[in-house]
Structure 1
Amino acid sequence: MSASNPAEGADMSDAANGGSDRTFTDVIFDLGGVVLRWEPHRAYEQVMPPDQVGDFMDEICFKEWNLRHDAGRDWDEGEAELISRMPHRREAIEAYRRYFDQTITGMVPGTGAIMTELRQADKRILALTNWSADLFHPTRRRFGLLNRFAGIVVSGEEGIAKPDPQLFKIVFDRYGVDPESAIFIDDNPHNCDTAEGLGLEVIRFTDATAARRRLVELGLLGERPVVPGPMYHIAKRKQWEAAKEHGNYCWSTRRVTYETQGFVHCCRAAQVADVRKRSYSDLADDELVVLQLDPSSVSAPVIMETDPATGEEYPHLYGDLKPADVTAELPVSAVVGAAL
């Protein structure tokens, strides 16, 4: 996988032109640095002090070495080649693949909400990523948000990597994409240059807020609707107490993590009783806590989505639920009773 870290405040491509007279049907996302956070140094920190990682990555020419694996090189071969030159570095060289899961540190804030809004606006979303095939498959299983793409082209499966134009053309041919009707979102300037040369509208990703602003300018999205509050999330009391102690609440709903789902399930006061009956009927009220949140002040976007099973609309928090987001911790009876 490869990604860049553009300077904060970098301009969005073509931002000075305002809107566009083109009609867009497809949006193609890069993954690392746009949808998922990728911090490769985390793998090496498992086997050496953090202050030594940068020098080691320079020593092995990490960006070039990793890009060759993104383009399909076999990992055993790649590691063996480095070890033959630096046998004293075997443990460190093998650390990246061994601890790769720890380099994917979560979802990029706000991008999941944009993906959902584009789907609600009847735009097709695709992904084009530089990623080793062997390392991509477990990541795809880990993050449910990736299932929302209509298709994903992985460089390691194709044997070529961005910015090679041929990888873009695979997306065009496989999914019937007209470059004149498509937008490409990536944080790497070289990839953006290639995409622009192929006729795609390009958004150079710096953060989700700026990317969404550009999508509004291009006419794909409108201003985000205000979700009236309050909204509620039912949690197991022990899990919530642990989250307050450690600062990390990893759940979307019962037995489903935030990473697996891609958002945190919430509901209106009038829906609390049904959610409690459907998902927590075997637990006593004192084993649960109802968390009250204000959609206008939480740390992540809130999107209303329809549950296909019930036809009801529910508010979904597209970010992990932080203790600071909670305005009140209530017993189930207080919310259910007030809603009756």
Structure 2
Amino acid sequence: MSSIDIRHIVFDIGKVLIHYDPNLPYSRLVPDEAERSWFFANVCTSDWNIEQDRGRSWEEAEAILIRNHPEREDHIRAFRRHWHEMVPHAYVETVAIMGGLIADGWDVTMLTNFASDTFREAQKLYPFLTLPRGVTVSGDVRLIKPDLAIYRTHAEAFDLDPGATLFIDDSAANVEGARAAGWHAVQFTGAERLKADLAAYGIQPSDAAPSLAAAAML
């Protein structure tokens, strides 16, 4: 693969650069594990949450659930209210890889399924999210991975050559979506595996500046 001319590197964010786990605040709010599992399977489901990533407002999202589960109003509203607790830390080693790529002059952008408002909140929590050349946020463009349209939108917005683009995402479905769009893509499982995947493309990022690693710990 090292003979392939990669010129653009695109990072996903959640579970690649920053940790995300809705269970973190809800383990306190709904201590019973069985009840909490039921809540995520039947009320604040993944399918419900992804629509905020597609651009639906939290007000509308909450209203839909509260109509069907009025007794759960406090727990429903807690999803947005306590969202910051769901992203408790950055993956420092991955952030260092991204920082090294930027320092080496690689063209780095980000493509993420994220609600518009929570992404801006994440940028304040983690300033390194402002370092790449730019980002496509699903909530802004009202498209989500793995829809082909969002990869094409990102490539057009940042003038990427799909055949010279390498995408990094933790989701196998999103990786396959990128490949269907003509990109190269690798599934993120950890920083060491990512280094090996980059090396297979002839890419070896230098060490990131200490200030970048410090920013990841904020």
RMSD: 2.0
Aligned to 1:116: 99
Aligned to 2:134: 151
Q: In 1, are the aligned partners of 2:96 and 2:212 still within 8 Å (CA)?
A: no
Aligned to 1:263: 213
Aligned to 2:6: 24
Aligned to 1:184: 167
Aligned to 1:31, the other structure's residue is in SS state coil
Q: In 2, are the aligned partners of 1:109 and 1:208 still within 8 Å (CA)?
A: no
Looking at structure 1, the residues matched to 132 and 169 of structure 2 have their Cα atoms a distance apart, in angstroms, of: 16
Identity over aligned residues, as a percent? 28
Looking at structure 2, the residues matched to 43 and 72 of structure 1 have their Cα atoms a distance apart, in angstroms, of: 23
Within the alignment, does 1:54 sit opposite 2:37 as a pair?
yes
CA gap 1:185/1:57 in 2 versus in 1, 3 angstroms: same
TM-score (norm 1): 0.60
Give the number of the structure whose alpha-carbon radius of gyration is greater: 1
CA gap 1:186/1:50 in 2 versus in 1, 3 angstroms: farther
Aligned to 1:35: 17
Pick one of 64, 71, 92 that aligns with 2:54: 71
Structure 1 runs not aligned, ≥5 long: 1-18, 226-251, 253-260, 265-317, 321-340
Looking at structure 2, the residues matched to 25 and 100 of structure 1 have their Cα atoms a distance apart, in angstroms, of: 35
Q: Deviations over 1:254-297 (max 9, x none)?
A: xxxxxxx5423xxxxxxxxxxxxxxxxxxxxxxxxxxxxxxxxx
Q: In 2, are the aligned partners of 1:121 and 1:221 still within 8 Å (CA)?
A: no
* Higher share in helix: 2
Q: Deviations over 1:55-82 (max 9, x none)?
A: 2101226110011110001111111111
Aligned to 1:270: none
Q: In 1, are the aligned partners of 2:99 and 2:212 still within 8 Å (CA)?
A: no
CA gap 1:50/1:176 in 2 versus in 1, 3 angstroms: farther
Looking at structure 1, the residues matched to 10 and 80 of structure 2 have their Cα atoms a distance apart, in angstroms, of: 27
Aligned to 2:89, the other structure's residue is in SS state strand
Deviation (angstroms), 1:46: 4.0
Select the structure with the greater relative contact order (CA < 8 A; seq sep ≥ 6): 2
Q: In 2, are the aligned partners of 1:30 and 1:127 still within 8 Å (CA)?
A: yes
CA gap 1:171/1:47 in 2 versus in 1, 3 angstroms: same
Structure 2 runs not aligned, ≥5 long: none
CA gap 1:125/1:22 in 2 versus in 1, 3 angstroms: same
Looking at structure 2, the residues matched to 40 and 215 of structure 1 have their Cα atoms a distance apart, in angstroms, of: 30
Looking at structure 2, the residues matched to 50 and 201 of structure 1 have their Cα atoms a distance apart, in angstroms, of: 43
- In structure 2, give the amino acid aligned to 1:94: R
- Could you list the structure 1 runs, at least 4 aligned residues long, displaced by more than 3 angstroms after superposition: none
Aligned to 1:96: 79
Looking at structure 1, the residues matched to 40 and 65 of structure 2 have their Cα atoms a distance apart, in angstroms, of: 12
The number of residues matched between the two structures is: 215
Q: Deviations over 1:153-177 (max 9, x none)?
A: 1000111111111111111111100
